Structure 1
């Protein structure tokens, strides 16, 4: 009996990709909410683990218990080329968020809500409901440094990143 481990990895990758497309709601429960404000002063965030939803990989939720102005803040972080129409929740508080990420970054609300209004039973339930999403894959070679053994020069890499010599381009993704 022969086992092709490479085939297993390829099938697993495809199944994971299909699962990612089907996920439209992500929940993140933060326990011991009473300890958050002393541990995360203004400007410091709790960051969720990396997840995929609605066909977009590499998403994160960022929750700032002390926010920037006394309110807690909530953001969704996405890779370049992602477009999302979604609703962010912290407890019972809800805010719409619609954004196209031309560069990797985060979008949400600095003044999401007062901390006390999103705490229930010493925990906070953060939720992301995605109503519409897609991702354009943009080739950005210049953002990655040349790898050891790279045969092209830095000027050649920059030319490819700018779209010269037929190297750049825009592709429709997931």
Structure 2
């Protein structure tokens, strides 16, 4: 009988996430840090339509992302406070009010993947986690019921985020 593959049970440590997120904020593309934050807040992978997410896919009333092309039909991804914060910050920093068919993250998958690789390289991360993994930092990063970020979304000039992302 063949051996059972144990799979990958690896998550970013708090220190790794802080170091990588600082580099993502400094990276030349202002969309990579919020994209990584939304990935972590929703546990979605970047290949799971986040890089092609349109504003019309966000249902603010129900607090969900409605993925129309999911394998089993429309899929609703719940948006917690951190994810909502990321999306509100993105909406607040577009040059004009976003139109329903505008992309939330006007970035390609390849550009996001490159930014992640550059951030890992610059910060000396030993992790083998890739941009598409969707893993979350360890729960110890969160303080009480509300996580506090120690980074600022400096590329867009906003206040530090109160979620577990790099904004």
Q: TM-score, normalised by structure 2?
A: 0.26
Return the index of the structure with the highest Cα Rg. 1
Structure whose residues are more often strand by fraction: 1
Higher RCO structure (Cα 8 Å, ≥6 apart):
2
Structure whose residues are more often helix by fraction: 2
